[in-house]
Amino acid sequence: MIPLYSTSQIKDLDNYAINIAGLPGILLMENAAINIAGAVFEKLSSLNLGNSIGILCGKGNNGGDGFAVARHLANEGCGVTIMSLGKPDELSPDSRMNYNILKNLNHPNITIITYSSIKDIKYFNKCDAIIDAILGSGAKGPLKEPYSSIVKEINKLNLFKIAIDIPTGLDADKGYGELIFKSHLTITLAGYKKGLFFNDGYAFAGEILKKGIGVDESPLEAYHTDDYLIEPEDAFVLLPHKGKGIHKYSAGKVLAIAGSVQLPGASLLTSKTVLNIGAGASVLAFPKAGRVLIAPSLSEVIMETYGESEEYLVSKNISSLQKRIDWADVIAIGPGLGRNEETQKAVIKVLKDNPSKRFVVDADAIFALRNGNYKKVKLNNSILTPHHAEFSDLIGIDINELKKDLLNFGKQFSRETGAVLVLKGAPSIIFNSDGETFINSTGNPGLAKFGTGDVLTGVIAGLYAQIKNAEDAAVCGVYLHSLTADLLEDKMTEYSYTAGDIINYLFESINFLRKSFA
């Protein structure tokens, strides 16, 4: 796991360097600038871009980084156009020092413009790339003028865009911003800021590189962090071990209570996936009235029918399923059940009557837990897998409010319920009851298709039946599911692969991890 830090923890590292190690701030800025300039020059060279670079420098130390970076890029032969968003007497002390150095050097490759109006953006029109050094990671809240207008205009330019430390407008802790510099590359300093890896950070930060500030970063390791980025090794070590004496019933038994006559497809995807991820037995509970709809598509999966004429799950059906519920190591409930009022009551009854069972709760079963119903059942052995809209509905807040403080709402829910929460999105985030988060580092836009969530439910349920640990199953399952999508993107492009392809290609992601780490 890669630890992700808060802005206050990164600031403490700066304070350590200055106050304990005795390194002056201007030296830290110079060290950072050398590393940033090297990364910029290397990136532009690899992309075969020209060497005309624009830099937007704010009034604070982030702007100071920009002034220092400009000097090093100019020394490498780049033509640099700097736009200072503050007059010299408005700059922070270290920023002003680097500004004055540039003025005194009068470098032939550097042009400095003091911003006066939005029309000044025209000076960047012929640049090959532009660097955002406007606001650093300590900035909070919506952008004010002139920054908001500048960011809007810069985002329109068809240039390669680079952010220093964090894209301007992004809250480095909450991963949220109303207006954000749209970066292709973010060069973050000292430690990884958590807000870069989820929510708007994921969408706006682009590729993320970490560069040092010339000080030992081990003091960061002393800090407790609750937030982590999942690495491939993490998924590999969590893969279930299969001993020589294993048999189909000791390899993990999953019951999927899924599907209805109106929505049969989701149940097939979930129950089939269970076997493809290594569980030994998969049973699908499905209405008898719709048996003919899916029976021809089931081979290895066993069907357990219920009811006589009902086309969806109702409470009176549950008693006939109880033996299978008792038999199963894990129950996956929700995909394709439908949102009939009687079905919602049945879902609550299943959860209430079986408080010690392991559940993976998805889709329509999550819908049944709205309006405070999740507080009426025990979920401490459960994994819930909502997407953002389902989660906001579940906890009763507007989705825009959820986005503003995503990690906090997720942590609060898992602490309150004891459940492991898999908040599906780009990227998906796993929350445990200890207040920790694990942010996925795989996946691509091709996952935004019908059925992929049903497959994820099957992946997690199958692993949970084998691993018997909710957090481990969720972390491994989310990573493998999205890694498979990445491998399929290379093979088929993000346009073409489907949920069924993910099921059939899961073995490739497992082999990929084995070849990488075994």
Phi then psi for residue 428, to 5 deg, are -80, 150
Give residue 299's pLDDT band: very low, low, confident or very high (50, 70, 90): confident
Domain that holds residue 38: 2-225
User: In the predicted model, what is the mean pLDDT of residues 46-63?
Assistant: 94
Same domain, 218 and 246: no
Same domain, 335 and 371: yes
CB proximity list for 265: less than 8 A, separation 6 or greater: 259, 336, 451, 454
Helices (H), 76-137: 93-105
Residues pairing with 361 in the sheet? 333, 384
pLDDT for the residue 518? 77
Q: Is the pLDDT of residue 20 over 80?
A: no
Same domain, 133 and 263: no
Same domain, 206 and 271: no
pLDDT for the residue 198? 97
Distances (CA, A) of 450 to 114, 364, 376, 500: 51, 15, 31, 10
Distances (CA, A) of 390 to 113, 262, 361, 396, 439: 49, 21, 12, 10, 19
Q: Is the pLDDT of residue 448 over 90?
A: yes
C-beta separation of 332 from 274 below 8 A? yes
Buried b (16+ CB within 10 A) or exposed e, 457-493: bbbbbbbbbbbeebbbbbbbbbbbbbbbbbbbbeeee
Same domain, 200 and 300: no
Q: Which of 225, 243, 259 is the last residue of a domain?
A: 225
Same domain, 236 and 221: no
Token pair of 120, please? 């000044």
C-beta separation of 229 from 198 below 8 A? no
pLDDT for the residue 243? 83
Q: What is the average pLDDT value for the chain, to the nearest integer?
A: 94
- Of the candidates 267, 281, 294, 329, the residue with the CA atom closest to the CA atom of residue 455: 267
Same domain, 94 and 239: no
User: In the predicted model, what is the mean pLDDT of residues 148-168?
Assistant: 96
Give residue 171's pLDDT band: very low, low, confident or very high (50, 70, 90): very high
Same domain, 71 and 163: yes
- The domain that holds 494 is classified in CATH as 3.40.1190.20
pLDDT for the residue 84? 96
Residue 450: Cβ-neighbour burial (10 angstroms; 0-12, 13-18, 19+): exposed
Q: Is the pLDDT of residue 170 over 90?
A: yes
- Across the chain, which distance is largest between two alpha carbons, in Å? 88
Q: Which of 192, 225, 258 is the last residue of a domain?
A: 225
pLDDT digits (tens, 9 = 90+) for 231-286: 999 999 999 998 888 888 888 999 999 999 999 999 999 999 999 999 999 999 99
Phi then psi for residue 303, to 5 deg, are -100, 130
Same domain, 122 and 34: yes
DSSP state of 372: T
Same domain, 215 and 237: no
pLDDT for the residue 23? 80
pLDDT for the residue 447? 97
C-beta separation of 69 from 41 below 8 A? no
Same domain, 347 and 452: yes
C-beta separation of 454 from 448 below 8 A? no
Residue 394: Cβ-neighbour burial (10 angstroms; 0-12, 13-18, 19+): buried
Number of domains in the chain: 2
CA-to-CA distance for 518 and 515, rounded, in angstroms?
Answer: 6
Same domain, 178 and 286: no
Single pTM value for the model: 0.94
Give residue 333's pLDDT band: very low, low, confident or very high (50, 70, 90): very high
Residue appearing with tokens 């220093």: 164
